[in-house]
Amino acid sequence: MAVKYGITLKGSYLDSDGNLTWDMAENQAYHHRVTAVGTDIVGSLSQPLSATSYEESPVYAALKENGTYHDANPYNPSSASRLLVMGRENGNPMPDRGFTFWGDDDVALATYTSPTDSLWHVMKRTWMVKTNVPSKPDSTVARWTAQGLEVSRNGFTDNIIQEKAASGAYATTPALVGGGGAFEFTCPTSHPTFDVGFGSIGGSTCKYGFRFTNAGVVYPIINGAVSNSYIATDVDGTD
């Protein structure tokens, strides 16, 4: 709960197996406004983005409009009411019981001018970041298995193109860690009907997701069945 709501404990942090994830004794100088992102399946925790619940004067987090859940949305970015918000990229999976913690040295929020560049105003407060997630380079393994579609890689994004009509065309990715994840894409201006969502391992059909018709109407897909009720219309690349 401390990780979920950005509350600083008076002691160390442990995962659901009792493993030490943030050592208060070792990091005592930075044990202020301790916050974390991470995943713990047994503990029913999936925290891809966090902000502390202890923002300071003149905008205290005790006020609803200034808190971690500002306007009932924990994903609001940094602002005058939220000094530091950190999270992981949607395409970067978090392993089970993998955490990244940070805390600060409790120095005042004053700034000083950089001696090498007067345009930079550097905050005197500093943060320490600790993680138990091993660092590794971006994988070169194919991110998609495709049939009837052409997939090309462009940095952290992929282009999926169908040059000519082909029935049963699909593109799938490996299973996501812990069954979680996100999928973001740009809908082309003109396209055939297609499905986007999650399926079973090794399958090529969508079990939970959405169907985009060639007219831009979007229907939910639940347990492999397309709903009769649509949730959006006029969805295409011009929106």
For the chain, which residues make up each domain, given as ranges? 2-131, 145-226
Distances (CA, A) of 193 to 173, 183, 218: 20, 18, 10
This prediction's pTM: 0.61
Q: What is the pLDDT of residue 220?
A: 95
Q: Record the tokens describing residue 17, joined without a space.
A: 């197996």
Q: How far apart (Å, rounded) are the C-alpha atoms in residues 201 and 175?
A: 6
Q: What is the pLDDT of residue 72?
A: 46
Place of tokens 């090529």: 204
Neighbours of 237 (CB within 10 A): 11
* Residue ranges in the chain whose pLDDT is less than 70: 55-82, 89-93, 138-142, 155-156, 175-183, 237-239
Task: Give tens-digit pLDDT for 5-19.
Answer: 888 999 999 999 999
Task: Give tens-digit pLDDT for 7-63.
Answer: 899 999 999 999 999 999 999 999 999 999 999 989 988 888 887 777 665 555 555
Q: How far apart (Å, rounded) are the C-alpha atoms in residues 35 and 18?
A: 18
Q: Give me the DSSP letters along the chain.
A: -HHHHTPPPSS-EE-TT--EEE-TTTTGGG-SS-EEEEEETTTTEEESEEE-S---TTS-TTSGGGSTTGGG-TT---BTTBS-EEE--TTS---TTEEEEEEE----S-EEE-SS-TT-EEES--EEEEE-SPP-PPP-S-S-EEESSEEEEETTEEEEE-SS--TT-EEE-PPPGGG------PPPSS---EEEEE--TT--S-SEEEEE-TTS-EEEEETTEE-SS-SB-S-STT-
Q: Record the tokens describing residue 182, joined without a space.
A: 């996100």
Q: Residue 181: is it exposed, middle or buried by C-beta count within 10 angstroms (0-12/13-18/19+)?
A: middle
